[in-house]
Amino acid sequence: MQPEGLWKSVLGEIELSVSRGSYLTWFKNTELLRCDRDSAVVGVQNIFIKQQLEKKFNDLIYQILQKKGIKTKELEFKIITPKTQRLIYDDPVVLEESVQEHLKNETINSTRNSFTHSYRQGLNEKYTMDSFVVGSGNELAFAACQSITQNPGIKYNPLFLYGGVGIGKTHLIQAVGNYLTQNNPGIKVLYISTEQFVQEFVESLRTRKTTEFADYYRSCDVLIVDDVQFIAGKEKIQEEFFHTFNALHQANKQIIISSDKPPGEIPTIEERLKSRFTWGMSIDMQEPDFETRCAIIKSKSINHGVDLNQDLVEFIANNSTTNIRELEGALNQLFAFCEMRAVEPTLSIAMSLLKTAKSRPKHLSAKQIIDKVSKYYQISLEDLLGPKRDREIVVPRQIAMYLLRSELHLSFPKISAELKRKDHTTAIHSVDKIEKEIRINPDIKNGVSVLKDRIYA
Ligand code: ADP
Ligand code: MG
């Protein structure tokens, strides 16, 4: 087996151990450059990723490699340029025999395109149009995407898809990219997460390679930008993106954008960019209804080689909340449990496994959430809902708003009203701020996670 196969399987495990955001930002375009008894060398795109992997994920990667039977002594990270990559692929890395032997036993999905290919495009081939289950909530988005696969750049340009987490945005837009790549030889499709776009841009500034950066993105036929909300507040990158957008749009190149909120609600984003986002078609992707959830469960289990009976399917569909990622998680938990014990999935196993999800209160109210925040941070309700702007009060207030959004999906005006704020943009900023902080500030992350536990305790 080639090292890319090994590395894909390592990445597969990493994907399960870290948040999706972290995975996309730090791991997505990494590759294994060399691997022998002395060291494993992981190729990364830039210095930021290198530092982050060294500092935070060294142990995790090392452990997973060990688990896969790669008894290497050291782990190294190395920045690669497009040139070195090609060289490396022309000259395939040879793994030690013992390692090779061990790896033979591992079954890893083979992929149709070469790894180099998918590296350049940022596409993950597991996301296909065929495996996307169409139902209420996503039909419109699917129809628009289908139309784009037939006539890119013509009708819906840009296509702007928005909706909550785990609703299938990434799956769908990646599927369009994969479809176009597979059916149009020579087409240049680029998929990029906004976090990555920002990082690459910063890196290009540092290395004075902004022209290359710009040329790279402006030379594609289809540009797919995921999670564009992360562009908020970053003026320079907004400007860069604006020019890229214009260049591609003028040339009738297809642009597809995803976001967790509609263009008008992304805070601190330039008006001209906002207006560009609405030039084509904006579609709201909504939570799947019961039937669609059942269809997704069935489809995922068949892919897994398991035929679940209807009772079981309905039980899981009833238990998993509104988010498809969670639903998939519940299903995978069930499969893993049953596979380890070599038993068939049954209703009672599912019931015992998914108990925690089931015990979530159905009538969680805004007041309950605000109370929990007030108690946890030991701030009186009067202060939390009052005019004071001290940091000790502002942060918990923002967290309360964040939780009202993430747990109850309240609208921004409603959130502002619950917290007795006059202006609903305060809620937008707060939710956005906490979303960002969670990723960089351990205190906030911890606070939010403890609060979530208490809310559902
Ligand atoms: P988002 O980008 O909106 O946060 P993702 O596209 O990452 O969500 O979806 C989360 C998970 O749910 C993925 O594994 C995806 O394959 C799966 N998923 C979402 N929607 C569907 C669907 N309609 N059919 C099949 N799988 C889906
Ligand atoms: Mg996504």
In this prediction, residue 93 has a pLDDT band, given cuts at 50, 70 and 90, of very low
What are the C-alpha distances in Å from 74 to residues 77, 353, 439? 10, 39, 28
Banded pLDDT at 294 (limits 50, 70, 90): very high
Report the separation in Å between the CA atom of 387 and the middle of ligand 2, taken as the mean of its atom positions: 36
Kindly state the average pLDDT of the residues 311-322.
Answer: 84
What is the CATH number assigned to the segment(s) 366-455?
A: 1.10.1750.10
Contacts with 239 (C-beta within 8 Å, 6 or more apart), sequence order? 270
Show Cβ contacts of residue 339 under 8 Å, excluding neighbours closer than 6 positions: none
22-31, 219-228, 309-318: the lowest-pLDDT one:
22-31
74 CA to middle of ligand 2, Å? Answer: 33
35-49, 145-159, 174-188, 370-384: segment of lowest average pLDDT: 35-49
Residue nearest to atom 21 of ligand 1 (CA): 168
Residue nearest to atom 5 of ligand 1 (CA): 168
- In tens, the pLDDT along 6-23 reads 788 888 888 877 777 778
Q: What secondary structure letter does DSSP report for 34?
A: E
With a cut of 90, say whether residue 254 has pLDDT above it.
Answer: yes
Instruction: Look at residue 392 and tell me whether its pLDDT is greater than 90.
Output: yes
- For residue 170, report the distance from its CA to the centre of ligand 2, in Å: 4
Q: What is the average pLDDT across 105-112? A: 33
Rounded Cα–Cα distance for residues 256 and 190 (Å): 10
Question: DSSP code of 168?
Answer: S
446 pLDDT band (50/70/90 cuts)?
A: confident
Summarised one tens digit per residue, pLDDT across range 125-159 is 889 999 999 998 899 999 999 999 999 998 899 99
pLDDT at 2: 58
Q: Whose CA is nearest to atom 1 of ligand 1?
A: 166
Provide the pLDDT confidence category of residue 356 given band limits of 50, 70 and 90: low
Distance 183 CA to ligand 1 centre (A): 23
Average per-residue pLDDT for the chain: 84
Res. 5 pLDDT band, cuts 50 70 90 = confident
Question: 3 or 167, which is more confident?
Answer: 167
pLDDT the model gives residue 4: 67
User: Which of 43-52, 180-189, 366-375, 420-429 has the weakest average pLDDT?
Assistant: 43-52
The percentage of residues in the chain with a pLDDT greater than 90, rounded to a whole number, is: 41
- The percent helix, strand, coil of the chain (3-state, each to 5) is 60, 10, 30
Token pair in block for residue 251: 């040339």
Work out the percent of the chain whose per-residue pLDDT is above 70. Answer: 88
pLDDT band, very low/low/confident/very high, at 83 (cuts 50, 70, 90): low
Please compute the mean of the pLDDT values over residues 266-274 and round it to a whole number: 87
Q: Which protein residue's CA is at the shortest distance from atom 14 of ligand 1?
A: 325
Q: Radius of gyration (Cα) for the chain, nearest Å?
A: 23
Instruction: Give the least confident one: 3-17, 276-290, 340-354, 393-407.
Output: 3-17
Q: By three-state DSSP, how is residue 190 classified?
A: strand
In the structure, which protein residues have their CB atom closer than 6 angstroms to any atom of ligand 1?
131-133, 138, 165-171, 296, 324-325, 328
Which whole number is the average pLDDT over 314-331? Answer: 84
Q: What is the pLDDT of residue 182?
A: 93
Question: Residue 333 pLDDT more than 90?
Answer: no
Is 80 exceeded by the pLDDT of residue 94?
A: no
Which atom of ligand 1 is nearest the CA belonging to 292? 23
pTM for this entry: 0.58
Q: Which atom of ligand 1 sits closest to the CA of residue 131?
A: 25
Residue 286 CA to ligand 1 centre (angstroms):
12
The closest residue, in CA terms, to atom 18 on ligand 1 is 168
pLDDT at residue number 15: 82
**Which residue, by CA, sits nearest to atom 19 of ligand 1?**
168
- Averaged pLDDT, 322-341: 84
Confidence of residue 303 (pLDDT cuts 50, 70, 90): confident
Instruction: Check residue 110 and give its pLDDT.
Output: 31
pLDDT at 167: 93
pLDDT by residue (tens digit) across 188-239?
A: 999 999 988 888 888 888 888 889 889 999 999 999 999 999 998 888 899 9
Is the pLDDT assigned to residue 117 strictly greater than 50? no
* pLDDT score of 412: 87
Q: What is the DSSP string of 404-421?
A: HHHHH---HHHHHHHTT-
Ligand with the closest atom to the CA of 326: 1
| CATH superfamily membership of 139-284 | P-loop containing nucleotide triphosphate hydrolases (3.40.50.300)
Q: Assess whether pLDDT exceeds 90 at residue 415.
A: yes
Note the CATH number of domain 290-354.
Answer: 1.10.8.60
Answer whether 290-354 and 366-455 agree in fold: no
**Hey, which of 129, 139, 171, 303 would you mutate to test ligand 1's pocket, going by the most ligand atoms within 8 Å of its Cβ?**
171
Protein residue with least CA distance to atom 11, ligand 1: 325
What whole-number distance in Å separates Cα of residue 281 and Cα of residue 272?
A: 16
Q: What is the number of the ligand closest to the CA of 172?
A: 1
> Which pLDDT belongs to residue 379?
94
CA of 101 to the centre of ligand 2 (A): 37
Pocket test for ligand 1, best of 291, 325, 327 (most atoms within 8 A of CB): 325
- Rounded to an integer, the average pLDDT of 289-317 is 90
- The answer to whether the CB of 45 falls within 8 A of the CB of 29 is yes
Going from the Cα of 97 to the center of ligand 2, the distance in angstroms, rounded, reads 39
Quick one: pLDDT band at residue 107, thresholds 50, 70, 90? very low
Confidence of residue 178 (pLDDT cuts 50, 70, 90): very high
Distance 32 CA to ligand 1 centre (A): 27
Ligand (nearest to CA of 128): 1
Name the residue at shortest CA distance from atom 9 of ligand 1.
168
User: Measured between alpha carbons, how far is 20 from 171 in angstroms, rounded to an integer?
Assistant: 13
DSSP codes of every residue in 96-165: PHHHHHHHHT------SS-HHHHHHHT--TT--STTSPP-TTTHHHHHHHHHHHHSTTTSSSSEEEE-ST
Give the domain ranges of the chain. 4-112, 139-284, 290-354, 366-455
CATH 2.40.50.70 fits 4-112, yes or no: no
Q: Which of 87-96, 240-249, 270-279 has the lowest mean pLDDT?
A: 87-96
CA of 346 to the centre of ligand 1 (A): 25
Q: What is the pLDDT of residue 33?
A: 84
